[in-house]
Amino acid sequence: MGLLTGLVTWPLAPVRGVVAIARLIGEEAERQYHDPVAIRAALEQVDADRAAGLLSEEEAAAMEDELIGRLL
């Protein structure tokens, strides 16, 4: 980047920083959303909630389908 370009675009530096941070946050959220360990823990929680009577069979099945879909 040339000196003139750097001086002209300098006021946009904070915007580029925010965009870069937002991109990193998005990538991390996507990684956690598809993390098999987190999905397994969520499936175990659904099973425990079903056993405790907190979820109906239909609710538990829908949640399990959504979680399994995240793995694929």
Give the ranges where the chain is alpha helix by DSSP (H): 3-9, 13-33, 36-51, 57-71
Predicted local confidence at residue 50, as pLDDT: 96
For tokens 């397994």, what's the residue? 40
Residues 6+ apart with CB under 8 A from 55: 46, 49, 63
The 10s digit of each residue's pLDDT in 8-66 is: 778 878 888 899 999 999 999 999 999 999 999 999 999 999 999 999 999 999 999 99
Predicted local confidence at residue 1, as pLDDT: 57
Residue spans of the domains in the chain: they are: 36-72
Q: Quick one: tokens of 19?
A: 């965009």
Considering the entire predicted model, what is its pTM?
Answer: 0.68
